[in-house]
């Protein structure tokens, strides 16, 4: 096992970055993600879905996913450490660097449970400029301010459907003295309890693949964002590099469930989480779904050969 983990770590620690770009105003930048290429039906009426490799009703999936995260809440970050060999912390740090929220930003972090994104944001010193996040992505220069008139303090709302995850996040934030400028809200990504056009940025990290109705969650993300607001998603994805894929598949199916049993006494939850990654739409397909929700200038950036990917889009 140690040899396998060592080989996997050496292999996937190299960050391979590639981009798939589509902008409705800039078709020359990329390729159109056609619905005919999709095997995932965003607006399908079928009431069945998958829980890992098992077909279940959508209501049953919601129930089971809730049970999984109730079980793993205390070990959630350890779980992500196991699934990514600790690299998820580097990915999340890079994820927030890409967003670079400025003072006054209202950030909604969905499925943010344990609040790690909030910790990374609090530790960030890059709160002055927003060069990587223009208010109007079609303009290279101009006023990029999205600050509220009330002041320069940014505010983060962590929203999660699972109360256990929120409890763990609040506890850790309190221990780190990071409770200022943060709200904790129990809510469903498919029916967000927030006003339309109320948020400057929407982030979701390693959460959207566990949502029962993904397209509905994307529609909700679009609804709550202000015009000019940015959607960003970090998620495990389809590995593009053959060498990385072979090593990662071996590690995923042979090692991670065993680690789940050792670390948390829970094989099945970790087995589901691996299967959920394999069932999630590949990068190009998910990018199309983001466009279907109304977002423009959608981009995809692969990390570590596609083990994870950052999806970004703007509400114009």
* DSSP string covering 101-156: PPTT-EEEEET-TT-HHHHHHHH----S--TTS-SSTT-SSS------TT-S--EE
- Domain assignment present for residue 259? The answer is yes
* Rg of the chain taking only CA atoms, in angstroms: 19
Instruction: Check whether 9 has a pLDDT greater than 50.
Output: no
Binding residues for S-adenosyl-L-methionine: 114, 160, 188-189
Query: 172 lies in which domain range?
Result: 2-128+151-314
- Domain assignment present for residue 145? The answer is no
Q: Which two tokens stand for residue 200?
A: 């400057």
Question: How many domains, in total, are found in the chain?
Answer: 1
Comparing 190 with 96, which gets the higher pLDDT? Answer: 190
Unique residue bearing structure tokens 């590949």 = 282
Q: Which two tokens stand for residue 262?
A: 């050792």
pLDDT (average), residues 108-130 = 64
- Domain assignment present for residue 198? The answer is yes
Beta strands 308-314 and 182-186: pairing type? unpaired
- Domain assignment present for residue 141? The answer is no
Q: What is the pLDDT of residue 145?
A: 35
Confidence band for 259, pLDDT divided at 50, 70 and 90: confident
Query: How far is it, in rounded angstroms, from Cα 201 to Cα 258?
Result: 37
How many CA within 13 A on the CB side of residue 54? 12
pLDDT tens digit sequence for 14-62: 333 334 444 433 333 333 333 333 334 444 446 788 787 788 898 888 8
Query: How far is it, in rounded angstroms, from Cα 256 to Cα 215?
Result: 29
Q: Which two tokens stand for residue 94?
A: 């890079």
Binding residues: 114, 160, 188-189
Confidence band for 121, pLDDT divided at 50, 70 and 90: low
pLDDT (average), residues 74-87 = 76
Q: What is the pLDDT of residue 278?
A: 92
Q: What is the pLDDT of residue 263?
A: 79
Q: Which two tokens stand for residue 296?
A: 């423009």
**pTM value?**
0.77
The region of weakest confidence among 97-106, 137-146, 306-315 is 137-146
Q: 110-136: buried (b, 16+ CB within 10 Å) or exposed (e) per residue?
A: bbbbbbbbbbbbbeeeeeeebeebbbe
- Domain assignment present for residue 296? The answer is yes
Residue 157's CATH number: 3.40.50.150
Enclosing H/E stretch for 288:
helix 283-292
Instruction: Check whether 109 has a pLDDT greater than 90.
Output: yes
- Domain assignment present for residue 137? The answer is no
């Amino acid at each position: 096992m140690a040899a396998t983990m060592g080989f996997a770590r050496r292999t996937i620690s190299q960050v391979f970055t590639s981009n798939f770009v589509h902008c409705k105003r800039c078709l020359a930048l990329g390729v159109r993600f056609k619905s005919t290429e999709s095997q995932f039906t965003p607006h399908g009426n079928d009431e069945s879905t998958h829980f890992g490799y098992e077909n279940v009703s959508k209501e049953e999936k919601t129930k089971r996913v809730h049970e999984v995260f109730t079980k793993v809440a205390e070990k959630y970050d350890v779980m992500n450490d196991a699934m990514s060999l600790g690299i998820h912390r580097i990915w999340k740090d890079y994820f927030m660097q890409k967003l670079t929220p400025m003072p006054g930003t209202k950030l909604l972090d969905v499925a943010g449970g344990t609040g790690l994104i909030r910790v990374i944001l609090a530790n960030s010193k890059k709160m002055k400029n927003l060069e990587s996040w223009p208010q109007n992505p079609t303009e290279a220069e101009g006023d990029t301010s999205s600050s509220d008139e009330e002041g320069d303090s940014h505010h983060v709302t962590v929203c999660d459907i699972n109360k256990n995850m929120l409890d763990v996040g609040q506890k850790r934030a309190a221990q780190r003295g990071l409770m200022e400028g943060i709200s904790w809200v129990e809510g469903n990504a498919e029916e967000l309890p927030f006003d339309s056009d109320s948020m400057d940025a929407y982030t979701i990290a390693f959460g959207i693949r566990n949502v029962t109705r993904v397209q509905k969650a994307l529609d909700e993300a679009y609804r709550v964002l202000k015009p000019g607001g940015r959607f960003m998603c970090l998620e495990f994805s389809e590995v593009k590099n053959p060498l990385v894929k072979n090593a990662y598949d071996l590690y995923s199916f042979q090692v991670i469930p065993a680690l789940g049993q050792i670390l948390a006494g829970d094989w099945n939850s970790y087995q589901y989480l691996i299967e959920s990654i394999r069932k999630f739409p590949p990068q190009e397909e998910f990018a199309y779904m983001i466009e279907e929700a109304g977002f423009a200038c959608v981009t995809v950036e692969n990390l570590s050969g596609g083990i994870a990917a950052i999806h970004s889009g703007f509400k114009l």
